[in-house]
Structure formats: structure tokens, C-alpha cells
Amino acid sequence: MNGVSRKHAEVVNRDWAHLLNREAIGVTNGVHPTTWLGRNVIRALAQDLGNDWERRLIDAPEEASLITELADDEVWAQHLDRKLLLTRFVRSRVRTQRARHGASPDELRAVERLLPPERLTIGFARRFATYKRATLLFHNVPWLRSILTDPDRPVQIVFAGKAHPADRHGQGLIRQIVEVSKQPDLYGHVHVLEDYETRMARFLVQGVDVWLNNPRPPQEASGTSGMKAAMNGALNVSVADGWWIEGHTEKNGWVFGADWENADYAAQDNEDAVQLYQLLQDTVVPLYYERDEEGIPRRWVTMMKEAMASTIAQYSTHRMVQDYATRAYVPVGR
């Protein structure tokens, strides 16, 4: 009956046309806003839109545009609060991980200096399925190193996720990232969190500045982690696949890479990695560190508000269930 995004519906129609008696439609996935929004975001929405803000946005999604009118300084201050919570959480988890692996007392004390909240922070958390290309960012380590360790505009990345117990290749990707994170010249810039679970996911989507997504198109049916991050004001840096094809407004994040299938995986990975490095180096990082006299990245915050406004209603489970009812279940019942 349907795919879980518009692009996925195209793939369903292409691959299963011999079995379908009608054209499959796209009912894009959604996430439950109040499960994934930071508490201070929920308070701000209640203050500015009323305590019934969620119902209002369900009934009138166009009212989400009111989010773009929120005060820049308040949005930025709230984001920094969530980012500080993420920093404390990551330090606690890393300290526990290192203690379990036999780290020395000096190494454990050094954890208190990890993940400084003033740095641009990128999040990557999901299943480590092969098609999600978790290691694409390390395609050219010297180039990546020059981006992450710029003394004036440093960047840090937090990885989290699990591979299926039978997916040896996915487990190998995790080991590869862990080894890269241990390189002395990347220490403190690449972090890997173990035992990925829902609580950790909430800290990440609520606290990072950028959400990275780079599956191999068109294999990402929808994806939902980027929705959760965007609702909290994180800016997606993603390939054109899944929900992001329809979610990207050119004001709420960035697209990189080719949007077509390429049977030559090595060529596609090289092309996409180059575009990712260029995007981070020339656009994303400079914009984040562009501050006014009050220390606020005004253009960045404008994009944050657009990310929130374009996703909180449009990519909620409320909208998704309405779509299933009106576009799938009721028509089939008739």
C-alpha cells in the first residue's frame, strides 16, 4: 500500500510493481515530539504558543512558522543548556567505559576536559548497518584532521550505535571508528559511546549542533533520527535520501553527495566524502563560528529555528497517523 517516504514509495513501485494492483503511496515516518524534545524546548513552546501547542500544531501545522519568531538569544541559550547536559553525560559515560577497560587514574581525570561545549559538535547515532556508511567521514583522514583540529574553529564528533549480533561487518565498522578515535592527533575530537540506548539518543539529538546522515542512496527508506535532532534545532548534514529529500528546505540544513544509485561504490564514496569535507570546511564550520558582538551566531540560530519549525508538526507521529488513516486505512476499508 505504501512506502515510508516519498522516495521509498518510488522504490516500492519500481521493485514490487509485479505484485501491486495499485501504485504505492508515500506515508513518511514521524516521531513523537514530546518524547524527543528537550524539556526547555517544550517549556518555550508552551510559553510562546500556549499549553495546547501540540494540539494546535496538529490541527494547524502552518502555525509552526511562529517558532521562527522566537528570540535568538533565548533559542541559543536554551541550546547551550542542552549542550552542557550532553557534555556532562558523555564525560560520565566515557569515564565508565575507560574504567572498565583499565584506564589509569590520570586518564580518568583527563575525561573532565573532553567534549568542551563551546566546540561545534556533530552527532552520528544509528544502527551500524553497512549501507549507512558510518566510516564515510574517515575516507580521507588527513583532510578530516585539518577540519577537526583547526585551533580557531575546532570540531568534535560523537558516534553511538550498535550492529546486529550477526553483522560482523557492521561490528568491524565500530572497531574501525574506535581505533581512529585513539589516534593521538585526533584525541578529544572523535568520541565513541558504547551501549547505545534510548536515553543516550535523547541526550544526543537534544544537544548536538549538527546531525550527520550519509547512507548510500536510495537505501535509506526514511530515517527518523534526523527528525528528532531537527526538532531540537540541530542542523542536518545529509545525503538526499529518505525523509530528508522532502524535509530539506534549503534553510534548515544542508544536502551533499549524489542522489542517484552508483554501482561503483568506491567512486560514490569518494565523491560523497569530498563533498562532505568541502561542505563542512567551507560552509558549516565557518557559519557556526560567525558570532556577533553578543557572541550569538545569528545566521546559525535562524537556521535552527527553521529546522524546528519545519519538522515539529510535519514530521510528528500525529501527522503520520493521520496520513495512514486518511490515505491508507480508510480507502482500503472502503
Residues with Cβ within 8 Å of 292's Cβ and at least 6 positions away in sequence, in order, are: 298
Per-residue pLDDT at 58 exceeds 80: yes
Q: What is the percent of the chain where pLDDT is above 70?
A: 100
Per-residue pLDDT at 21 exceeds 90: no
3-class SS of residue 238? strand
Per-residue pLDDT at 258 exceeds 90: no
Q: What is the percent of the chain where pLDDT is above 90?
A: 91
pLDDT tens figures, 74-93 = 999 999 999 999 999 999 99
Contacts within 8 Å (CB) and 24+ apart, 56-62: 57/312, 57/313, 57/316, 58/313, 58/316, 58/318, 58/319, 58/322, 61/313, 61/314, 61/319
Per-residue pLDDT at 22 exceeds 90: no
CATH code 3.40.50.2000 for 86-305: yes
Q: How far is CA 26 from CA 20, 32, 106, 122, 123, in A?
A: 14, 19, 54, 30, 28
Q: What is the pLDDT of residue 38?
A: 98
Sign of CA dihedral 198, 200, 205, 210: negative
Instruction: Give the pLDDT band of residue 15 (cuts 50, 70, 90).
Output: very high
